[in-house]
Amino acid sequence: MSNRRKTGVRNAYRAEFLRSPEWFARRSRWFRKQVRLRRPLVCAACGRLAASRELELHHLDYSGVRFVKGGWRAFERHDDLVPLHPHCHDLLHRLIDRDHVLAFHRSRRAASGIALQRLRARLWAQEIAP
């Protein structure tokens, strides 16, 4: 399965899912749980503190997303959703899409982990640059 964002039938499902009320409810639950776990709301790429309305959630795994009896169900595990600024989220997907190995030969979880590491290194390097 490819990790590319805008190709394939699976991605059409995802695009639809990401606009569904089930996803918005899942998103709210994620932020409430994050607070309950006393984990800070920080972007996983740039590391900056952010408000929930400023963050998107990236899926490390879509196996919790199911279409059951005509409706979407969101059973993602908490730690399979990663908070990112929209801009940082875009950069992450670009890193994955532009790397043939990450886009086609790694699981989504592995590709995301590798791309996140690269992105953090890049953003931190920019930060300390004069």
User: Distance (Å, rounded) from C-alpha 37 to C-alpha 109?
Assistant: 22
Q: Which residue of 65, 81, 88, 103 would you call a contact of Zn ion, by CB under 5 A?
A: 88
User: Toward Zn ion, which CB reaches closer, 45 or 111?
Assistant: 45
**Per-residue string for binding with Zn ion, 91-120, x by CB under 5 A?**
------------------------------
In contact, 9 and 16? CB cutoff 8 Å: no
- Please name the residues in contact with 45: beta carbons below 8 A apart, sequence gap of 6 or more: 84, 85, 88, 89, 91, 92, 116, 119, 120, 123
**Per-residue string for binding with Zn ion, 3-22, x by CB under 5 A?**
--------------------
User: Toward Zn ion, which CB reaches closer, 42 or 73?
Assistant: 42
